[in-house]
Amino acid sequence: MTIQIAVRRFQHNPDLPLPRYATAGSAGMDLLAAVEAPVTIEPGGRALIPTGLAIALPPGYELQIRPRSGLALRHGIVLPNSPGTIDEDYRGEIQVIVLNAGDAPFTVERGARIAQAVLAPVVRARWHEVPSLDVTARNEGGFGSTGH
């Protein structure tokens, strides 16, 4: 299934390719950094990296912003709020919060693949308050209570 996403470019991204899937089986599309000058993130530091894109998602969808495994493995670059969520009613610029959990400075260059975006359906919940819940084998056990 293919879903249409309306996209608008900001003035600082007239030239970068739109997000696309690297292979036919890819779940995520690469988001590119639309920085006007290189941004160096020191170890333990964070930066907000612009993509130069705004989108209009169809009702019932979100765009999840996730880290790239290669950046995490090789450089310790992670997204501290992963996955980030772009809601269907957000029309501002997509920007990526990047954290350098590595031990060396990391420089984000224009056009660098900084994150990936996964389109996902949203299921809405309605809370229903009850006086008690059904009993299970696990019941209230948590935080490693299953022995694994």
Q: Domain 6-121, what fold?
A: Deoxyuridine 5'-Triphosphate Nucleotidohydrolase; Chain A (2.70.40)
Q: Report pLDDT digits (tens) over 17-39.
A: 999 999 999 999 999 999 999 99
Provide the residue ranges of all domains of the chain, joining segments of one domain with +: 6-121
- Confidence tier at 53 by pLDDT (50, 70, 90): very high
- Confidence tier at 147 by pLDDT (50, 70, 90): low
What is the pTM (predicted TM-score) of this model?
0.89
- Confidence tier at 1 by pLDDT (50, 70, 90): confident
Q: Report pLDDT digits (tens) over 92-146.
A: 999 999 999 999 999 999 999 999 999 999 999 999 999 999 998 888 877 766 6
Output the 3-class SS for the chain. Answer: CCCCCEEEECCCCCCCCCCCECCCCCCCEEEECCCCCCEEECCCCEEEEECCEEEECCCCEEEEEECCHHHHHHHCEECCCCCEEECCCCCCCCEEEEEECCCCCEEECCCCEEEEEEEEECCCCCCCCCCCCCCCCCCCCCCCCCCC
